[in-house]
Copies of this chain bind each other. A is one copy, B any other.
Amino acid sequence: MSVHSGAFALHPRLAADTVALGDLALSRVLLINDAHYPWLLLVPRRDHIMELIDLADAERAQLMTEIATVARALKEATACDKLNIAALGNAVPQLHVHVIARRTTDAAWPNPVWGAVPARAYADGEREQLLNSIRNRLWNT
């Protein structure tokens, strides 16, 4: 595919750390492989975008709509105590928005999750149950 096509390619590090749930109108929705926290990423399917302010106005508005949609689904699926939402990108330059379900009993609370403790693998079936619960809320409505 031509480099001029604007084709979207997920950053290899994001691909390695996640499993895909599906695509919204703008963003790919991913789950981070860390059972410490139900932790989603939204990645707008646009190439060469590093910052929120690099998106066109209409795309940024759409991203906020999708952040809210995903945050509501995650809160409903997990009955979490708090949502953490962030676009950092210091390590992986491709724009990605973290939507994280926090509990006051989780491994990092009340600190942010980044770098707090090593990732923990999901138990058998635990990840699929979470994925299904979120997918049902995002796409079966």
Residues on A close to B: CB < 8 A? 50-53, 57, 60-61, 63-65, 67-68, 71-72, 75, 82-91, 102, 109-112, 114-115
Given A68-B53, A114-B112, decide whether A88 and B91 contact each other with a Cβ distance below 8 A.
Answer: no
Task: Tell me, rounded to whole Å, the shortest Cβ–Cβ distance linking A75 to chain B.
Answer: 7
Taking a contact as CB atoms closer than 8 A, the residue among B61, B84, B89, B90 that contacts A90 in the complex is B84
Given A51-B82, A88-B112; 17 other pairs, CB 8 A cutoff: A51-B75, A51-B83, A52-B68, A52-B85, A53-B68, A60-B68, A61-B64, A82-B90, A84-B86, A84-B90, A86-B86, A86-B87, A90-B109, A90-B111, A90-B112, A112-B114, A112-B115
CA distance A115 to B112 in the complex (A): 9
> How many of these chains are in the complex?
2
Taking a contact as CB atoms closer than 8 A, the residue among B71, B82, B87, B111 that contacts A89 in the complex is B82
Task: Tell me, rounded to whole Å, the shortest Cβ–Cβ distance linking A90 to chain B.
Answer: 4
A selection of 21 A-B contacts at a CB cut-off of 8 Å is A50-B82, A51-B82, A52-B83, A52-B85, A57-B65, A57-B68, A60-B64, A61-B61, A63-B64, A64-B64, A82-B90, A83-B87, A84-B86, A84-B87, A86-B88, A90-B109, A90-B110, A90-B111, A90-B112, A111-B114, A112-B115
